[in-house]
Amino acid sequence: MDESNHWYGHSRILGRYCGLPDEAPKRIQGFLQHGWNYLHGFPPNDHWCSPGYPRFIWSDVLRRRGWSMGRRGHYLIGAPWIYLLHMEPELGVVPERNGTIWYPFHGWEKYSVIGDHARLADEIRNVETDPVTVCLYWLEYANPDIRRAYESRGFRVICHGERGSRWEVKGRDFLRRQLVQLRRHRRVASNRLGSALFYGASVGCDVAVYGDPMQFEDERPEYGGTARRMRLWPELHGTRVDPELAAETARRELGFDYQATPEELRRMFGWKRLREGAPPPGGGARRPVKAAAGLGGSRGVRS
């Protein structure tokens, strides 16, 4: 339905989990949260999601936050990342991890980021003792000056690829490539809390958040900026973070307790034409540990 449902291969991952053939585009009847944020899972402007359509979100804290802001129709399903882990328990696993993968905060097609990459690269060089891989978003990767800021410090610079669309294949393996890289590295770091940090913590990476947090041009005030992130998650900032605490926070923010079964996802997404009875890759999903507080029934109970 919405183009963002297909970014980073999310709809394909969930379709594969539900037994759909990979070549078939997956039209989700609703809006799927495509990245972690600390508002309500979606951009602050109300025109992003058409009224009356469900919003499929990762965690209960986002449901409650959205409810407090007058938003309705939330379905808790967890992040597409947890379904990828379910289907790919060994993808990218190596005998011994090494080095740090560093994710600088990035812009997107409509907004660029204000910040000094050269100064950030110097700070990374002063903190990290192991080999560093810097992973840039495709827009920054396409900028030779930004790449040079990191390469000139001796860092390996990579990109997981462009985000795709419903009909394009270029974004379909984005999360798979990210999983391979995270499982190869001992540590994941960034100058802002974000999806990559929680993905890394969920697969055993040590976590760090330090350096100039940078910011969007005309950044929306609803998010609350760096001050709000520091207020909500002070324990997740610094060059060294408690790994058990980071892993626990990642499980909560990514919604591991809300993993749906294939049958539940098919019903919620409006996917009717399926091979009934075909188990998803990796076996059947476990039943969720618990439903959202104050709600009844199974996954996807709306609020």
Whole-structure pTM value = 0.84
Question: What are the chain's domains?
Answer: 1-79+255-303 (no CATH), 100-246 (3.40.50)
Task: Report helix, strand or coil for 261.
Answer: coil
C-alpha distances in Å from residue 4, one per residue of 8, 33, 40, 48, 163: 9, 8, 16, 10, 9
* Secondary structure of 145-189 in HEC code, one letter for each residue: HHHHHHHCCCCEEECCCCCCCCCCCCCCCHHHHHHHHHHHCCEEE
Min mean pLDDT across 6-20, 26-40, 134-148, 237-251 is at: 26-40
What are the pLDDT digits (tens) for 143-160? 999 999 999 999 999 999
Model confidence band, residue 278 (pLDDT cutoffs 50, 70, 90): very low
Given a contact cutoff of 8 angstroms between Cβ atoms, the answer to whether 187 and 205 are in contact is: yes
Determine the pLDDT at residue 76. 93
Beta bridge mates, 238: 209
